[in-house]
Each structure stands twice: as C-alpha cells, then as structure tokens.
C-alpha cells in the first residue's frame, strides 16, 4: 500500500477537481490516479461513506473473501490467535467512526473466534 492516497473533494465541482488533478499531473508526470466519484467507497480495508456531508468509516470486507475465517498457519499456537483478536479489535476502534459499527464489528470478530475454536 505504498504511495497511495485517499481524499474527499467538496471544494467545488467536477471541473475544478479535474483542474486540481491536472495541476498535480503537470508537476509530477509519474503520478497516476484512479478517480471514483460516489457517496461511499472502499479503500484498502476501510469503507468510507459520506452521509449528508459527514464522513463515516468502518471495516471493509471484500465480498469474495470467506467470512468468519482466521488467518491460519498450522504451526501457530492459540496465543497467536489471541494476539490476532487484540490486533483486529484495535483496528476496529481506529476504523469505526460510530459505536454501532464498532459493536457490529466486535460481534463479528467474536463469532469468528468462536467458529474457529
């Protein structure tokens, strides 16, 4: 995920955004853009949504990845899985902008641990 950026634009219309991006391209020709205009977008492992001018975020899961599965390695002890749970709970605290989204994520993670023993 090196050299990737996400930003929102509410400083004008699409033409002004295009002009802004062209200015960046003119200064650095190796910069590439993937422009997506929407009220909600996935970016890396986050789902960001604009609701009436307010940004909200939560954990994003790709729909093709099987749910309720742990990143499993045969030689890992159960202690490693408890470290995993701690790490993903910290990630949920950082990503979820609402308490409701955090609680849904926490329940999902608890079910994942219960499902996998």
pLDDT, one tens digit per residue, over 47-78 is: 999 988 899 999 998 888 888 776 655 556 66
What are the helix (H) ranges across the chain? 14-27, 78-95, 99-115
What pLDDT score was predicted for residue 52? 87
**Looking at residue 23, what is its pLDDT?**
92
């Amino acid at each position: 995920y090196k050299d990737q950026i996400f930003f929102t634009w509410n400083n004008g219309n699409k033409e002004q955004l295009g002009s802004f991006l062209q200015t960046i391209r003119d200064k650095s020709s190796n910069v590439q853009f993937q422009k997506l205009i929407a009220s909600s977008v996935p970016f890396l492992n986050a789902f960001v949504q604009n609701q009436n001018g307010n940004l909200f975020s939560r954990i994003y899961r790709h729909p093709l990845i099987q749910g309720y599965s742990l990143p499993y390695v045969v030689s890992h002890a159960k202690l490693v899985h408890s470290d995993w749970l701690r790490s993903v709970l910290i990630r949920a605290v950082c990503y979820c902008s609402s308490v409701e989204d955090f609680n849904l994520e926490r329940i999902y993670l608890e079910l994942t641990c219960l499902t996998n023993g």
